[in-house]
């Protein structure tokens, strides 16, 4: 009897499964960028977790998400894999779906930063590259009462991105299984100049309820340039990209975020456009993870049934808070704090 009551309570709470990339980030602050063959000094370094799945899950936990959280993906059977698993467990995120692969290193990135300059990334995919659709069972999560299945990032998961002889990708089959199990699917891409971007993500779009992407990813997916030669955001181009993604099969919502604004496209509804929060450049410690913080807030709001006009300001607030942290997940406060930031 007690077990049945507990199961009913879990179903009422719902939950989010975060599948995809699990990466260890080592962030190095350099004194300057050296010429080839020369030496530079590492002035400071931080270690944290990165990748769409773990960033979104960790951010949701920091926000005080009221449902259950679970992680699904691959790490190596190594110290970095143990670090990822420990971070998940410390945050109260279920790690049963995190598979440790022998003979594979946990995915890791060395992020090189020079104050006042952009970042440079050195990435090793390792175990992430071995993630395939058969490793994750959406049905098992649905039977436990989870409601939403997040997958990120497409175009950084080769085992899921590859197209087969039928023109289907592993990601498309995984997302189809999630929908058939009754889970709402929400997907994020990684920014990439891969020539196969449009075809590979396009295979998954008919099985996406929502996608949450930036303007450059929207451009890569549709072939529509979102900015002019001077870098100005082109409102009409973003609108055409959003409409095209809906036409390609996204069933409930296309969310395109840019530094200037967020565009939310829904079938049969007017597009909602809301400007971003002004940010003091002096307050920015690191831009790493801001897009994932935005996505996490969107996932939170979708799970809780919030209106679009409530979700977007909170997502902007989450991204702004993330900019003040050294790693991808450092700066995220509780949802009460984000609501105060968004609405006063």
Q: Give the pLDDT of residue 179.
A: 99
Class of CATH domain 2-22+51-106+128-343: alpha beta
Q: Where are the domains of the chain?
A: 2-22+51-106+128-343
> Is this prediction's pTM over 0.75?
yes
Task: Give the integer Cα–Cα distance in Å for 170 and 258.
Answer: 28
pLDDT of res. 278 = 85
Give the per-residue pLDDT at 118. 72
Tokens representing residue 256 in the block: 């395109």
Cα distance between residue 68 and residue 344, in whole Å:
28
Distance between CA atoms of 203 and 199, rounded to whole angstroms?
6
Neighbours of 15 (CB within 10 A): 22
Task: Specify the DSSP element, H or E, that contains 96.
Answer: strand 94-101
Tens-level pLDDT at each residue, the chain (344 residues): 555 555 556 567 899 999 999 999 998 999 999 999 999 999 999 898 999 999 999 999 999 999 999 999 999 999 999 999 999 999 999 999 999 999 999 999 998 988 878 778 899 999 999 999 999 999 999 999 999 999 999 999 999 999 999 999 999 999 999 999 999 999 999 999 899 999 999 999 999 999 999 999 999 999 999 999 999 999 999 999 999 999 999 999 999 999 999 999 999 999 999 999 888 887 887 777 899 999 999 999 999 999 999 999 999 999 999 998 877 788 899 999 999 999 98
């Amino acid at each position: 009897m007690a077990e049945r009551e507990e199961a009913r309570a879990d179903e009422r709470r719902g939950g989010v499964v975060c599948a995809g990339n699990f990466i260890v980030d080592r962030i190095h602050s350099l004194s300057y960028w050296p010429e080839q063959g020369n030496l530079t000094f590492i002035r400071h370094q931080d270690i944290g977790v990165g990748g769409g799945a773990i960033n979104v899950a960790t951010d949701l936990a920091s926000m005080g998400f009221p449902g259950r959280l679970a992680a699904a993906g691959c790490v190596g059977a190594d110290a970095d894999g143990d670090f990822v698993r420990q971070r998940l467990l410390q945050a109260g995120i279920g790690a049963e779906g995190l598979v440790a692969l022998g003979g594979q290193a946990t995915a890791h990135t060395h992020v090189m930063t020079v104050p006042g300059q952009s970042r440079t990334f050195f990435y090793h995919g390792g175990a992430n590259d071995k993630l395939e659709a058969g490793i994750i069972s959406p049905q098992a999560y649905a039977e436990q009462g989870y409601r939403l299945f997040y997958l990120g990032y497409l175009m950084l998961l080769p085992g899921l991105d590859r197209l087969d002889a039928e023109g289907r990708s592993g990601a498309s089959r995984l997302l189809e299984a999630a929908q058939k199990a009754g889970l709402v699917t929400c997907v994020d891409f990684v920014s990439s100049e891969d020539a196969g971007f449009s075809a590979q993500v396009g295979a998954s779009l008919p099985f996406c309820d929502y996608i949450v992407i930036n303007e450059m990813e929207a451009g890569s997916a549709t072939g529509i340039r979102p900015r002019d030669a001077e870098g100005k955001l082109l409102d009409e181009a973003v609108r055409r990209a959003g409409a095209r993604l809906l036409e390609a099969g996204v069933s409930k919502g296309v969310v395109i975020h840019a530094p200037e604004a967020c565009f939310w496209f829904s079938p049969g509804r007017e597009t909602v456009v809301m400007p971003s929060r002004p940010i003091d450049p002096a307050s920015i410690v690191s831009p790493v993870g801001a897009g994932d913080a935005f996505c996490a807030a969107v996932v939170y709001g979708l799970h809780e049934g919030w209106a679009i006009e409530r979700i977007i300001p909170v997502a902007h607030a989450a991204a702004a808070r993330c900019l003040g942290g050294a790693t991808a997940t450092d700066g995220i406060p509780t949802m009460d704090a984000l609501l105060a930031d968004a609405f006063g």
